[in-house]
Amino acid sequence: MERRSFLRGAAAAPLMPMGAQVGERPAIKITDIKWFLVGTGGRNPNQPGGRNWVIVKVETDQGIHGIGEAYSCGPDEATAKVIEDFKSWLVGQDPRNIEYLWALMYNFTRFPGGSVVNAALSGIEHALWDISGKAAGLPVYMLIGGKLREKIRVYQSAGGEAPAQVADNAKALVEKYGYTAVKMSPHMRDSNRLPYNQVTRMAGKRVQAVREALGPDVDIGVDIHAKFFEVNRAIRMAKEIEPFNPMWLEEPIRPENTDAMTKLAEHVNIPLASGECNYTKYEFREILAAQCLDIIQPDICVCGGLLEMKKIAAMAEAHYAVVAPHNPMGPIATVVNVHFAASTPNFKILEYHPDDRSPRKDVLKEPLMVKDGYIPVPNKPGLGIELDEAAIRKFPPRPWRRGFEFREDGSVAFI
């Protein structure tokens, strides 16, 4: 991956180490940055379910290491190559100078990063926080504002084809894990190929079935997954499911047009949520200024990392919006999100996947577990977790992409 001429040799301006020592603080230097691709066991590498987890490990000359997780964008080998490139920028630097190193990666990339570059940057940034917490002998959340809450509310998505099947699955999740909220798709299979009215009508039946199964008090998030391009489609579906009091309508339309989202907000009484496809404080500035979302959903593995998400949350707080982080990745991502949630006033709820089955339960030596719908806040230094490198070698990666979807006439649909 080509960067700038300053990396090509000694003749160019070198990357100078910043703040090797402040007062009596012992010096720490980054000596290596490693990455691991961990397969999640999908059967078909060309279909959903076969994605990988992109894990980052930063090592130092003091024997302290940190781990983080980058987003799995699809071409995961590309993300790994960016991590390798960033390594040549960061070796020799003090890992605790997180703002400085973030600016170094972001500014010297020159063009605003897309998903692959921002994923690599985010995963490295997590590991820097892990090192900083271990060096200070404190949990990471104590370095970014302290602990606001003792436990983190979480939710899980319920799948299923027929309305009754989704309802049964949602009820089973609530009974097993004690969730006070679940999420679901309003779409039946092949919805991109079905008539518009059928999709809308069945969305109402699906949400109604889950509401009747869970009763009036469990929150239900409804995720359109940005499959709609037209504002009117989202308005029609919102009116169909509104009687069942959803917690939010997630990604109701594509994320590129903030004015379109504002138009939608003017016609919908359900809280609107979005943001998983947006990066850094700069993109969220426009969204928040438009006052079109009630809930923002940045992803800590691709938005720029933990500190960047804290900045985004602070901007949201000033606009009276809450944060429900997007969290579809692995166990390390969940832990980083827990530290964010523990220290953030306007945190609402965290997307969660239970770490009680392989390969999720094997990646970390002691993964965080849900208890009665909440994850207890850890108290160990750093992120409070350790990677099981022997275990992850049992789960080799494989190339993957998201499944393609087409409309009935053969045109390319949104997924």
Q: Is 276 exposed, middle or buried (0-12, 13-18, 19+ CB in 10 A)?
A: buried
Helix boundaries (H) for 62-162: 76-90, 98-109, 115-136, 140-143
Distance of CA 220 to the CA centre of its chain: 19
How far apart, in whole angstroms, are the C-alpha atoms of residue 249 and residue 82?
34
326 tagged catalytic: yes
How far apart, in whole angstroms, are the C-alpha atoms of residue 220 and residue 184?
7
36 closest CA partner among 339, 380, 309, 362 = 362
How far apart, in whole angstroms, are the C-alpha atoms of residue 28 and residue 44?
44
- Which listed residue (225, 319, 339, 353) is catalytic? 225
Do the Cβ atoms of 314 and 336 come closer than 8 Å?
no
Do the Cβ atoms of 157 and 184 come closer than 8 Å?
yes
Amino acid at 6: F
Phi first, then psi, for residue 317 (nearest 5°) are -60, -40
- Which listed residue (65, 326, 339, 353) is catalytic? 326
How far apart, in whole angstroms, are the C-alpha atoms of residue 328 and residue 326?
6
126 tagged catalytic: no
How far apart, in whole angstroms, are the C-alpha atoms of residue 365 and residue 67?
13
| Residue 396 structure tokens | 């080799």
How far apart, in whole angstroms, are the C-alpha atoms of residue 120 and residue 302?
8
Phi first, then psi, for residue 184 (nearest 5°) are -150, 160
Residues 6 or more apart in contact with residue 175 via CB below 8 angstroms: none
Active-site annotation, residues: 225, 326
